[in-house]
Amino acid sequence: MNLNQTLKELFRQQIQSWELAQTNYQALLSVRTKVFGFSGYDVKVQFNPARIKSSSAVVNSEAIAQRACFLCKENRPEEQVGTGFGNFELLLNPYPIFPEHFTIVHKQHLPQEIRPYFKDMLMLAKELSDYVVFYNGPKCGASAPDHVHFQAGTKTFLPLIDDYKNLKPSWGELLKEGENFQAFTLNNYHRTLVCIESADEHTIEKVFGEFYAGWQEHPDEEPMMNIVCSYENGRWYVYIFPRAHFRPRQYYTADTEKQLLVSPAAVEMGGIIITPVEAHFNKIGRDDIIDLFGQSAKRIGLPEDTEPVITVGIMSQSAIDFQLHGDFIASNGKIYTGNRRAVYQREKISFDGQESGVLTFRPLSDDAFFELQDVVIGINFHWERKENQRFKGELKLIVENEKLTAINCVGLEDYLTSVISSEMSATASEELLKAHAVISRSWLLHPMQRFAPEQDDEKILRNEARTQSGEVVKWYERDAHTHFDVCADDHCQRYQGITRASTGTVKKAIATTRGEVLIYGGRICDARFSKSCGGISEAFENVWAPVHYPYLSKIIDHPAAPDGFDTDLTIEANAEKWIRGFPLAYCNTDDKKTLSQALNNYDRETTHFYRWQIAYSQKELSALIKQRSGIDFGAIIDLIPVERGESGRLIKLRIAGSKQTQTVGKELEIRKWLSDSHLYSAAFVIDRVDIQDNIPQKFILTGAGWGHGVGLCQIGAAVMGEKGYKYDEILSHYYNKSEIRKIYR
């Protein structure tokens, strides 16, 4: 009889002879289950009241010392019998999750750890091919951290095994490989998963040891991890979930509305979330699952302790003039300094009598920098202009779209020093600067992390245009850049190198928050921001792709409810009253000292932020829309709001003309069609004036806010900083349910 058969016989005997086991396995047949579908896989949530002892177990050293070990033979129930396997004994688990659930206990009372017993786990998985063998570390799931043990359960029950088979072809990313092994991770899985595959036990032990050492933060402590091991067709599959936290904040909160008694371990990370409290089972939702996984998972994307190097596209012209201040070594092996010029010629870069496809200049000293001539800033905005700009780091020239593009390769923290000084005044308050450092770092790293958006939501990273009869809907995203990470203008984040004056306060804010990002659901947040939300922030999906990010949803920009206003601004009457009014909000300020913090010199050329007004004659508006849209509407008869977002910003606007009628969206496209550059925001109402033969001779737009309004409101955050709020409080206000985490030192 093999071990699979031995266990099945043990199960049969224990169910017959042990009343507790019989009762609990019978109850398992009626356990309630909810299934949540994600892209390519499901997660199950079960209400299993019998697991209350395990889920609520106190596992600190004091509690462990005060109780008898329930895994030691002398303390087990008399009815519980087992079967031996080397140094271990296999026992029926009387509080099951699986249809057949076993605890595999070391015969000696030794502390829970994996390294000395990893080979035993492999052998158990090989012999128990009908089951998965799993391990919960002493600080991430084990209710008996003082006694070495594994568990085993019915293989077909845990979603993880099929998830991996099904998702690996499209989402699998190779981490390591050698002659006898491969190690993959799964993107888009909401948990951090590493799977080591090998047919050789010595190889898989060695590779596991390498991952173990890489995750170990303290030499005397085991890195937090849950492990599931299976053996199929002569090959081991070791599924490892590196862990960041044992239990989520919802476990510990005293707020009963937010509390969830969920204690994630190998089973939960494998796709079955157990809650022993019925009320918690009833209220848990999809966003909670993402959040629970995210809090539990340890990142393995961007390298820990490593500051990334960022590539920034600065300018694109047929010829680029630049000056090297200090010695720079070029990719042609020569050292250059002083004034230089590169020219686009026959799909090549012509420089110093030579032609090349790519040309780089690397500084030979820390104080060297380069200067680019006539860089256009504020592209297509009302304050567009040219200026000379200076940069630290490497200069890279490439051929792109029959022009030369200048790229700056620079360390992330140096990049941020410029961004913070360029996006706002370097004289801003320290808390505002720290808040902006965190969100600028987050926004930049969001698309670089291993965990991309869900498969169904990939369009979020693309410009999207949808044209159909009577409707043009378009939004703009950052992936227009294929040869560098970000551009240097407002399309991404303003970056002007060392041109813009910085201060000791800026440098301190960057240093204080070094490596800190906003996290939601285990992933770095796409932390958007704008100048002024107008009193209520907008939801991400109303400006860009129709994807909901809980941390980029509606917030009222003040702790007090606006008096006399209904804040459901998706309703036209409410939006009109809101936009024509001046409700209390952080960003409702004309204090010059505060505004000078959030606005750079050229931004202050705009004098109205919170509420504004612009008027067009019939002739002006008709010509403007024709020029900006490329559509001849004839005489503009009406501008009709079709759909508004949470902040009152228009998602869709119908333009009625004497020749034709079209609906335009989303927010930025509306702003482009109604201005020579960009209208301040899409939160506006329309007055038709001097109507002759049903055609208005004048249109007056009254609006609220400056920019798209999603995420942090820079002027509102400046006011919060002046009122004494700390940067984490500012971020918590604007990014709901997010948390700050340091990802490199």
208 and 320 within one domain: no
Taking the CA atoms of residue 659, residue 663, residue 666 and residue 667 in that order, the dihedral angle to the nearest 10 degrees is 60
Instruction: Give the integer Cα–Cα distance in Å for 89 and 86.
Output: 8
User: What are 168-198's pLDDT values in tens digits?
Assistant: 887 787 888 888 999 998 877 889 999 999 9
Q: Does residue 249 sit within a domain?
A: no
Instruction: Give the integer Cα–Cα distance in Å for 277 and 50.
Output: 10
324 and 213 within one domain: no
Q: Does residue 19 sit within a domain?
A: yes
Q: What one-character DSSP code corresponds to residue 299?
A: P
User: What are 613-629's pLDDT values in tens digits?
Assistant: 999 999 999 999 999 99
Q: Is 700 exposed, middle or buried (0-12, 13-18, 19+ CB in 10 A)?
A: middle
Q: Does residue 256 sit within a domain?
A: no
Q: Does residue 399 sit within a domain?
A: yes
322 and 238 within one domain: no
310 and 217 within one domain: no
Distance from the Cα of residue 471 to its chain's centroid: 32
156 and 49 within one domain: yes
430 and 350 within one domain: yes
Sign of CA dihedral 199, 205, 206, 209: positive
Q: What one-character DSSP code corresponds to residue 429?
A: -
Of 242, 264, 281, the residue at which a domain comes to its end is 242
Nearest C-alpha neighbor of 265 from the set 51, 522, 7: 51
Count of alpha carbons within 13 angstroms of residue 137, beta-carbon side: 21
Of 226, 242, 258, the residue at which a domain comes to its end is 242
- Domain span at 178: 3-60+69-242
Task: Give how far Cα 597 sits from Cα of 260, 298, 404, 427, 489, Å.
Answer: 41, 36, 35, 6, 20
Say what angle helices 118-127 and 201-215 make with each other, to 10 degrees. Answer: 130
Taking the CA atoms of residue 18, residue 24, residue 25 and residue 30 in that order, the dihedral angle to the nearest 10 degrees is 150
Instruction: Please report which helix (H) or strand (E) contains residue 687, including its range.
Output: strand 684-692
Q: Does residue 204 sit within a domain?
A: yes
Q: What residues pair up with 309 in beta bridges, in sequence order? A: 411
Q: Tokens in use for 109?
A: 């009372």
201 and 81 within one domain: yes
Q: Tokens in use for 476?
A: 């703009």
Of 242, 260, 275, the residue at which a domain comes to its end is 242
Residue count of the chain: 745
- Which residues of the chain have a pLDDT value below 70? 53, 55-59, 61, 299-306, 377-385, 422-427, 449-469, 477-482, 490-491, 499-502, 597-607, 745
Q: What one-character DSSP code corresponds to residue 538?
A: B
574 and 718 within one domain: yes
Task: Give how far Cα 381 sits from Cα of 386, 676, 695, Å.
Answer: 12, 8, 30
User: Parallel, antiparallel, or unpaired: how do β-strands 272-275 and 235-242 relate?
Assistant: unpaired
pTM score, whole prediction = 0.60
- The position carrying tokens 């008869």 is 637
Distance from the Cα of residue 563 to its chain's centroid: 35
Q: Where are the alpha helices (DSSP H) in 263-411?
A: 266-269, 278-283, 286-296
- The position carrying tokens 């099945």 is 8
208 and 323 within one domain: no
* Three-state DSSP state, 598: helix
Q: Does residue 73 sit within a domain?
A: yes
- The position carrying tokens 């899985």 is 189
Instruction: Give the integer Cα–Cα distance in Å for 385 and 43.
Output: 53
Q: Where are the alpha helices (DSSP H) in 301-411?
A: none
Q: What one-character DSSP code corresponds to residue 477?
A: -
234 and 132 within one domain: yes
- The position carrying tokens 């022009």 is 403
Residue type, 412: L
Q: How many domains does the chain have?
A: 2
| Domain CATH number, residue 194 | 3.30.428.10
313 and 238 within one domain: no
* Order of strands, sheet of 523-524, starting from the edge strand that comes earlier in the sequence: 523-524, 516-520, 739-742
Instruction: Please report which helix (H) or strand (E) contains residue 467, including its range.
Output: strand 464-468
Say whether the peptide bond before residue 698 is cis (omega within 30 degrees of 0).
Answer: no
Residues 103 and 76: beta-carbon distance below 8 Å: no
* Three-state DSSP state, 507: helix
Q: Does residue 266 sit within a domain?
A: no
Instruction: Give the integer Cα–Cα distance in Å for 685 and 569.
Output: 12
User: What are 43-60's pLDDT values in tens digits?
Assistant: 999 998 888 767 666 667
350 and 237 within one domain: no
Instruction: Give the integer Cα–Cα distance in Å for 212 and 145.
Output: 19
Taking the CA atoms of residue 660, residue 661, residue 667 and residue 671 in that order, the dihedral angle to the nearest 10 degrees is 40
How many CB atoms lie under 10 A from the CB of residue 469?
A: 5
Instruction: Give the integer Cα–Cα distance in Å for 125 and 229.
Output: 6
Q: Does residue 250 sit within a domain?
A: no
Q: Please report the pLDDT score of residue 494 as a whole number.
A: 76
Instruction: Give the integer Cα–Cα distance in Å for 230 and 208.
Output: 15
